[in-house]
Amino acid sequence: MQHSSFLNLCAFALTLGTLTEPARAQAPPTKPNVLFIAVDDLRPELGCYGNTVIKSPNIDRLAKSGMVFLQAYCQQAVCSPSRSSLLTGRRPDATKVWDLVTHFRAALPDAVTLPQTFKQNGYHTAALNKIYHHGYEDGRSWSEPHWYSSGQTIDTDQTDYTKRTVVRVPGGVKEFSKELPTADADDPKAKKGPAFERSPKPEDQLPDGAAAAEAVKRLHSLKQTGKPFFLAVGMAKPHLPFISPQKYWDLYDPSKIPGADNDTLPEGAPKFAGHDNGELHGYPNIPAGNPISPELSRELRHGYYAAISYMDAQVGKVLDALKAEGLDKNTIVVLWGDHGWQLGDHGLWHKHTNFERATHAPLIISVPGMKNAGKKTVSLAEFVDIYPTLAELAGLSVPVGLDGTSLKPILDNPSASVKKVAISQYPRSADGEPVMGYSVRDPRWRLTLWRSRKTNATIATELYDEQNDPKELVNVASKPENAVIIARLTAELEVAYKGIGAVAIPKILPAAKPATDRNILFDKRDTNKDGKLTFEEFMMGQKDPEQAKERFAKFDANKDGVLSREEFVKMGKQS
């Protein structure tokens, strides 16, 4: 009997161990990191987009581990409006950013940005080089000041975005090998050198090389912390000026670089749909007047291609570091160009239009373990979709009121579709009257309605058959048989913009039950363990954000923008 009892006890212990083993083996799911690569002025001129001349091996490598969106569109083809829209998930008519001199928080003071959402969910968020338009940074988005390769960091006050703190940091690189002595240092628009240059500098002494080197350092340090991160890395090239080391120019035979699609505005298009190439003419080696000569055009296109290859090499360094640190298995990588770029198409250089070449931009999303790695999709995507997509992929709650739609269904199935149209816009002046051009793109057509900003009346219409006229040579809006197409696309525009700019009324939820020990609650919210709570730390997990904002202001007795432990505990008990 004793022997039998002993065997039974052993069997029971073994069974108990078997039952409890899975519970012991299960670890909490690891939050995926995000590597967020923003590229300035990059049109879809890459190997993975079918360009057989361009040399972009590193971005092409990323494409093999992710999905290439062949029909992705920005919301406005110029830097700040595009970036503000993408990072807030709102269209330009909601951000009120249609230019390069407006901060999105002027219209949306309480917007929770894409990186801010990750920050509020325990991520370390950091920005290197241009993410928001330079001069319009957003301190609430980041866990630390915004770093620039020029040798400075910039932060903004957590409650007043107009209060900026600029700090000089070691290092700092300049773009031109020799800056013009006549350039006005106080004028950000003053060009300090030519529109293109074969640089004698080492790669890491140019802005993108310095950004890549810093990103490599950051990935190493972030690996050591073990904390999930959202690292945004901005690449300046191929934005003007086209500066890259000689070896990247040597990759190309200028005679094999494709020329412009055409050199005039589309037949039947209003003259104000184009522009005068003012950005390019701002450089001292570009003569006045249009069109740009064939010889200069070839040199500019050569410089643009060389700049892409230089930028691609820097992206490669960051991707190599991600893998070397063992972070690639748990990091979502997204690479996007903030808008397209015209290389003489329609006689135009740079962006600033509603044409296909300006609004069409690259988007690549790579998710560890994705089943459709290496696939391409022709499903329409907008840059306002990136915010909800990344939030869903990371398992985060998506803020209400965003204008985009998650692209995850397309990542799961390249043939899936989440929207009928992609919409862009651009402001203009038509005979002195302010107008806004709203451009609606479906799989075949691009409709642009130019509407008065005073009366909303349509003063001009453009329609292009992108399937049979991909160079947009002829505006076919006046053809009677196309009236039904115009009506259908106009209806889609009205649906997309319904309520844009309206003030959303937040849903009032029951206040969260206060914790019994506010010291414990303080320690839980103090994610960076610096002994004080920032506004973002305080707002994390709040069920009623509006009431929480009022409590923060009330608790902050000395009005220094942060809460000490004493303020949090004492004032919280009194509320």
Q: What DSSP string describes 55-102? A: --HHHHHHHHTSEEETTEE-SSSSHHHHHHHHHHT--HHHHT--SSS-
Taking 60 as the threshold, does the pLDDT of residue 183 lie above it? yes
Give mean pLDDT, residues 334-363. 98
Selection from 357, 332, 331 nearest residue 472 by Cα: 357
Q: Choosing from 48, 74, 79, 346, which is the catalytic residue?
A: 79
In a 13 Å sphere around the CA of 173, the CA atoms on its Cβ side amount to 21
Q: Choosing from 48, 74, 103, 133, which is the catalytic residue?
A: 133
Selection from 305, 376, 291, 315 nearest residue 61 by Cα: 315
DSSP per-residue letters across 379-402: S-EEGGGHHHHHHHHTTPPPPTT-
DSSP per-residue letters across 235-261: E-TTSSSEEEEHHHHTT--GGGS---S
Give mean pLDDT, residues 171-183. 88
Give mean pLDDT, residues 161-169. 95
C-beta of residue 149 within 8 angstroms of C-beta of residue 211: yes
Query: Confidence class of residue 185 from pLDDT cuts 50, 70 and 90?
Result: low
* pLDDT the model gives residue 526: 77
* pLDDT the model gives residue 285: 94
* Residues contacting 392, CB < 8 A, separation 6+: 398, 406, 408
Least confident of 75-89, 142-156, 491-505: 491-505
DSSP per-residue letters across 122-142: T-EEEEES-SSPTT---GGG-
* pLDDT the model gives residue 530: 78
Give mean pLDDT, residues 460-480. 98
* pLDDT the model gives residue 502: 37
Look at the chain and count its residues.
Answer: 575
Taking 80 as the threshold, does the pLDDT of residue 234 lie above it? yes
pLDDT digits (tens, 9 = 90+) for 55-110: 999 999 999 999 999 999 999 999 999 999 999 999 999 999 999 999 999 999 99
Gyration radius of the chain's alpha carbons: 26
> Catalytic annotation on 133?
yes
Least confident of 386-390, 507-511, 550-554, 562-566: 507-511
Taking 70 as the threshold, does the pLDDT of residue 505 lie above it? no
* pLDDT the model gives residue 30: 84
Least confident of 36-45, 311-320, 449-458, 530-539: 530-539
Query: Confidence class of residue 541 from pLDDT cuts 50, 70 and 90?
Result: low
Q: In the beta sheet, which residues pair with residue 569?
A: none
C-beta of residue 472 within 8 angstroms of C-beta of residue 446: yes
> Catalytic annotation on 103?
no
Q: What is the percentage of the chain residues whose pLDDT exceeds 90?
A: 78
Query: Confidence class of residue 187 from pLDDT cuts 50, 70 and 90?
Result: low
* pLDDT the model gives residue 415: 98
DSSP secondary structure code for residue 158 in this structure? S
413: its two tokens: 């199935």
Query: Confidence class of residue 517 from pLDDT cuts 50, 70 and 90?
Result: low
Taking 90 as the threshold, does the pLDDT of residue 111 lie above it? yes
Cα(54)–Cα(58) distance, rounded to whole angstroms?
Answer: 12
Q: Based on the number of CB atoms within 10 Å of its own CB, is 22 exposed (0-12), middle (13-18) or buried (19 or more)?
A: exposed
* pLDDT the model gives residue 398: 87
C-beta of residue 543 within 8 angstroms of C-beta of residue 511: yes
Top pLDDT among 181 and 445 is at 445
Beta-strand relationship, 33-39 and 229-235:
parallel
- CA trace torsion 424, 425, 426, 429 (10° rounding): 150
Least confident of 70-74, 234-238, 506-510: 506-510
Give mean pLDDT, residues 281-303. 95
pLDDT, the chain, mean: 89
* pLDDT the model gives residue 534: 85
Top pLDDT among 509 and 563 is at 563
C-beta of residue 368 within 8 angstroms of C-beta of residue 331: yes
Least confident of 12-16, 49-53, 399-403: 12-16
Which residue type does 488 have? R
* pLDDT the model gives residue 542: 66
* pLDDT the model gives residue 559: 81
Query: Confidence class of residue 5 from pLDDT cuts 50, 70 and 90?
Result: very low
460: its two tokens: 């001009």
Which residue type does 573 have? K
Query: Confidence class of residue 2 from pLDDT cuts 50, 70 and 90?
Result: very low
* pLDDT the model gives residue 560: 80
Q: In the beta sheet, which residues pair with residue 447?
A: 440, 463
Cα(137)–Cα(429) distance, rounded to whole angstroms?
Answer: 28
C-beta of residue 385 within 8 angstroms of C-beta of residue 109: no
* pLDDT the model gives residue 527: 72
* pLDDT the model gives residue 501: 47
Taking 60 as the threshold, does the pLDDT of residue 516 lie above it? no
Q: What is the percentage of the chain residues whose pLDDT exceeds 70?
A: 88
Distance of alpha carbon 570 from its chain centroid, rounded? 41
* pLDDT the model gives residue 13: 39
